[in-house]
């Protein structure tokens, strides 16, 4: 899966980060503590809109979130 866009809503919701993949209808929603049993990491579909927050670069994600994404999609 190749990442097309990354969004950050600044923590307005528990699923702060949204990863949208190229050529795929799936997205990945994540919390800041996505590896925790109290965290969130779930594939799904997304309705595009302002609620996603601002578009950011993959490199702008916290290291733990980047590592988690790489483990989920490989």
For the chain, how far is it from start to end, CA to CA, in angstroms?
Answer: 8
Residue 62 CA to residue 40 CA, distance in Å, equals 15
User: pLDDT at position 64, please?
Assistant: 97
The domain spans of the chain are: 3-73
Per-residue pLDDT of the chain in tens (74 residues, 90 and over written 9): 899 999 999 999 999 999 999 987 889 999 999 999 999 999 999 888 999 999 999 999 999 999 999 999 98
pLDDT for the residue numbered 41 = 97
């Amino acid at each position: 899966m190749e990442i097309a866009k990354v969004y950050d809503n600044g923590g307005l919701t528990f699923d702060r980060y949204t990863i949208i993949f190229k050529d795929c209808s799936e997205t990945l929603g994540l919390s800041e503590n996505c590896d925790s049993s109290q965290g969130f990491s779930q594939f799904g579909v997304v309705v595009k809109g302002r609620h996603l927050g601002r578009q950011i670069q993959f490199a702008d994600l916290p290291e733990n979130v980047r590592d988690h994404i790489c483990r989920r999609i490989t």
